[in-house]
Every structure is written in C-alpha cells, then in structure tokens.
Chain A
Amino acid sequence: MNKRIVIIGAGQAGGTAAAQLRQQGYEGEVVLIGNEQVPPYQRPPLSKAWLKGEAAATDLYMKPESFYADKQIDLRLGRSAEAIDTSTMTVRLDDETEVKFDHLVLACGARARALPNVDASVKGVHYLRSMEDASQLKSTLQQCKHLVIVGGGFIGLEVAASARLLGVKVTLLEREPRLLSRLCSETLSAYLLDLHQQQGVTILQGAELESMTQENGAVSGVQLSDGSVLECDALLVGVGSQPNIELAIQAGLECDAGVIVDEHAQTSHPAISAIGDMTQRPVVGADYLLRLESVPSSLEQAKQVALRLSEKPVANAELPWFWSDQYSTKIQMAGLTAASSRTILRGTLEDGQFSVFHFAGDTLIAAECVNAPRDFMVARKAIANSAKVNLDVLTNTEKALSEALI
C-alpha cells in the first residue's frame, strides 16, 4: 500500500505515528506537519526537569532532527492546517499551500483551557502546554517572588513542586473541596495535600479565582471569590485542556467532547484517522468513549494507526495508565477510577509508600500507587486480566502483592 499519508500535528502522537510507520516498513510518502518550531518532543518534562533547568530542548526531542529526513518523513514545522477538503482530499496550510493526501491522520492535540478572567498577555501570567510556554514560565520562576497557581490538577501540582525546589513561594488555588477530585481517591488527595504543605506550598481548597490585578503591565495579584486578595508577581493557570477539534468539525467528522474514533483510530471518514489528546476513544475498563489525556494513550493510538496503515496485525488494547512525579514522590496509576465503589489501602501514608486499590463490587478496577512500583506493575497486570484478589493478603504489606492474586 503506497498511499501518501499526511499527519497534522507533530506532538507525541503525530511524531510517534510517523516514526512507527517507518518502523513497520511503510514505504509510501509520509508528511508530518507541526505548528511548533521544534520537532516532536515529550511534554511531561516541561513541568518538571525543564523548569528545574535539568533538561535542554534537544533532551526532550523524541528523535534527533536528522531522523525525519533520514527516514524520508517530510517534516514541516511552524506550519498550521487551516482547512481540510474531503472532496479533493487536500489540506490547506497557513502559507496557502495545498497538501494532497490519500490518508489523513489528525493529531492536533489540545490547548490549555483559558480562563476568561485571566489576561494571558500580561507579564507573569502563564499557561503551560508547549515548550515555548515552558520557556517563558521558566524565566519567570527564576526571578519571581510569589507564584499563584490556579488548579490543583497534575499541571498545577507538578509546577508547584518544581517551583518550590527553585525556592519560589507558591500558593495553589483549587476550586473543588480537594485536589484531583475528579480523578483520584480521597486518600491520594490527602497525601498530596500534606506532601505539598510539608514542602511549603500554601494550598487553598474550595478557592476560586475571581479576577487578577496588574501594575505596569505585570500581574500584581489575584482576588478570590470569597473576596480575599493575594499579592503575587506570577500566575499559572492549569485548569484542564481543550481539544483542538475545530479542523475536524469543519471537515465534517463525528465529534463530541473530542473526535470520535474506534479502537483502530478510525474516524467517521474512511480516509481520516485521529489520534492523541483530540480524540474520544474506546478505553479498556469503560463502556463509553473517553477523552484520555495521557501520553500512554496517545502512544497507543499512534501505534494503532501505524499498524493499520502498514497492514500489520493489530496490537492488544492496553489498560490506561498514568504517572506523575512531584518532589521525590512517584505516583503511578493503572485503570480508570470512575466506576469505583470502594477503595482499600495497602501500606500507610506515614510510610510515604502505599497503594489505593479501587473496586467495583469484587472486581479490582484501578490502583493508585505512591512510591510503590512493584504494586503498580502487579496491579496493572491484575486489572487487565480481571484477576480476583484476596483482600487479607492485599492489605498485608509483609506479603508481596502478587501473592494476593487468586
């Protein structure tokens, strides 16, 4: 099959799809179009090693710049797609060029969700999505006195940790009564609250940003919904992401919270696939389609599309998983917690090493593991295999978790 494949979006999904196509022996033309000025790179280090000055741009690249030409991947950076014409099978770029495709892979990702009461053009105000955003945030962190973070999700928590390690005063505002309330157990929320407070972060829960103030073109403070005022000279907003589905909608693809795809990354149009943060996809452990904003999910979809277009056998569906590093704490999560009806704790929070297991009835459906890599690896397999669990052994830290599997 020597179709010309055009990939719109050169992030982790798009970059991996291109590389995987060649790895699978695909010999047709591959065009990879990205709107950033750098080749595909990893985003997770942007809130961690990058901010702490421990990584350079090239350390984050998924492949060296020379890789793309070497593998005959036509990489076009700094270009964005403006419109897709499914009747002529062309994409029109922002420089007026028209790129013809036999098959199109959309990997447009997501952008940081913007708050209407925040003026991002003001000095010291940041969102975090791209390397460019991270560069600007890094500069700010090197000289600011007080960073206010809006959002107690993973972006907010990871940046809080990095900022504290840089000696910056941090106040984090979380709108819900607890951190990560939509995703994690109360146990994990409580652990993270304590972890960050111990490291000197001021965390205000049930606190919402009302407005920001500025002086001489730079952010000078925030006012909260309860009327209280905080002075600050840096503001980071991390309140979720918005999928970049405008192009997909314009092309007439079926969309909901994201572009609807099947387990092979196929959209409602036979010549168009979609992968990564922009998609709403079938997920192991859910009986509805989900927008799973994670690197493992994006990589899995990139492989799905590469295998399909290379006419290779499909891979087994993967259980969703996720990781986050905050200070020297490693958090690993396997499975989805949404259907969880009860949780069981293994280990203690005081030890700083524990796992929270989520059950739907008697079935283990998810695990949150803190500094417990063995538990994570065992739980991941157990959940994927719908293994039955002996609860007495599960909570007995004298025994290996693997012994709890029946």
Chain B
Amino acid sequence: MVTITYVEFDGTAHQVQVEPGNSLMKGAVYNGVPGIDAECGGACACATCHVYVDDEWFARLPEAQGEESGMLEFANEPQTGSRLSCQIVVTPEMDGLVVRMPEFQS
C-alpha cells in the first residue's frame, strides 16, 4: 500500500492508503476524499479529477500524454503542477506523494 495525501482547497488533509495499480483518482474517490468529482469515471473525458502535484513530485511522475494535456489546458484554474489524477497510476515509488485539489472542479 502507498501513502498518498490529498489536501482539500480549505487545507483539510486526507492521508490514505492506495493500492498500487489504482489511479490517483480512484485512491481519492474510493477513500471518500472530497474535491475530486471524476464524472467520467476515469475515461479522460471530463477534467474533473484535476489535482495540483507538489513541485518536488511533479518531475518524478510520468509525463501527461496528449489526451490528458489537451483536457488539462482547460481544466478549472490550471497551474504548473496540474495533472488529471485518473491518468496517474499509483506505484510504490509514489509513497508520500502530496496532491492538492482546486477550489472547484468545474
């Protein structure tokens, strides 16, 4: 199990255990972490699983592919650390990862 911390916009932090192989989005939704809507269930079709990845982690994650990049550009309040959490597969190397949620997903 991998420890991931999801931080809500108001600062509330949720530290959860996610099984490797699941997406970062699933890790949040499954553990009842609010702030990630994931309307399309992980199909990279809605951009409502948007998270901000902390600087120290961003470069360590596999890069966003074309579809994700396209959606991300127009997610709500995109920033440099923006990623769609449904496209990031959790690996043991991500133990300790911290991501933040935008104020709104849409």
A contact residues vs B (CB 8 Å cutoff) = 19, 23, 42, 44-45, 62-64, 67, 70-71, 295-296, 299, 318, 321, 323, 325, 330, 332, 372-374, 377-378, 381
Closest to B21 in A: A59
B45 touches A378 (CB 8 A): no
Q: How far is the CB of B59 from chain A (nearest CB, A)?
A: 24
Contact A378 B74, CB 8 Å, known A45-B41, A63-B29: yes
Name the contact of A323 in the complex, choosing from B29, B30, B46, B74 (C-beta under 8 A).
B46
A330 touches B67 (CB 8 A): yes
A377 touches B71 (CB 8 A): yes
B70 interface residue, CB < 8 Å from A?
yes
A295 touches B32 (CB 8 A): no
Q: How far is the CB of B71 from chain A (nearest CB, A)?
A: 5
Question: Please, which residues of chain B bring their CB within 8 A of the CB of A71?
Answer: 32
Name the contact of A299 in the complex, choosing from B39, B44, B70 (C-beta under 8 A).
B39
The 6 lowest CB-CB distance pairs between A and B, nearest first, are A377-B74, A373-B70, A323-B45, A42-B41, A373-B71, A374-B70
B54 interface residue, CB < 8 Å from A?
no
B40 touches A323 (CB 8 A): yes
Q: Say whether chain B's binding surface is mostly helix, strand, loop, or mixed.
A: loop
Closest to A23 in B: B34
Contact A374 B45, CB 8 Å, known A63-B29, A295-B39, A330-B67: no
B contact residues vs A (CB 8 Å cutoff) = 29-30, 32, 34, 39-41, 43-47, 67, 70-71, 73-75, 106
5 interchain pairs, CB-CB under 8 A? A44-B40, A63-B30, A295-B40, A318-B106, A323-B46
Within the assembled complex, what's the spacing in Å between the Cα atoms of A373 and B71?
5
B44 touches A330 (CB 8 A): yes
Name the contact of A64 in the complex, choosing from B30, B40, B47, B73 (C-beta under 8 A).
B30
Contact A330 B45, CB 8 Å, known A373-B70, A381-B74: yes
A323 touches B71 (CB 8 A): no
Q: How far is the CB of B90 from chain A (nearest CB, A)?
A: 14
Within the assembled complex, what's the spacing in Å between the Cα atoms of A62 and B71?
23
Closest to A12 in B: B41
Within the assembled complex, what's the spacing in Å between the Cα atoms of A323 and B45?
7
B29 touches A374 (CB 8 A): no
Question: Please, which residues of chain B bring their CB within 8 A of the CB of A23?
Answer: 32, 34
Within the assembled complex, what's the spacing in Å between the Cα atoms of A79 and B29?
26
Within the assembled complex, what's the spacing in Å between the Cα atoms of A64 and B19?
13
Name the contact of A295 in the complex, choosing from B41, B47, B70, B74 (C-beta under 8 A).
B41
Within the assembled complex, what's the spacing in Å between the Cα atoms of A381 and B75?
11
Within the assembled complex, what's the spacing in Å between the Cα atoms of A2 and B40?
32
A325 touches B43 (CB 8 A): yes
B67 touches A373 (CB 8 A): yes
12 more A-B residue pairs beyond the given contacts A64-B30, A296-B39, A299-B39, with a C-beta to C-beta distance below 8 A? A63-B29, A295-B40, A323-B45, A323-B46, A330-B67, A373-B44, A373-B70, A374-B71, A377-B70, A377-B71, A377-B74, A381-B74
Q: How far is the CB of A306 from chain B (nearest CB, A)?
A: 12
Closest to B40 in A: A323
Q: How far is the CB of B47 from chain A (nearest CB, A)?
A: 7
Q: How far is the CB of B26 from chain A (nearest CB, A)?
A: 8
Closest to A61 in B: B30
Q: How far is the CB of A249 from chain B (nearest CB, A)?
A: 30
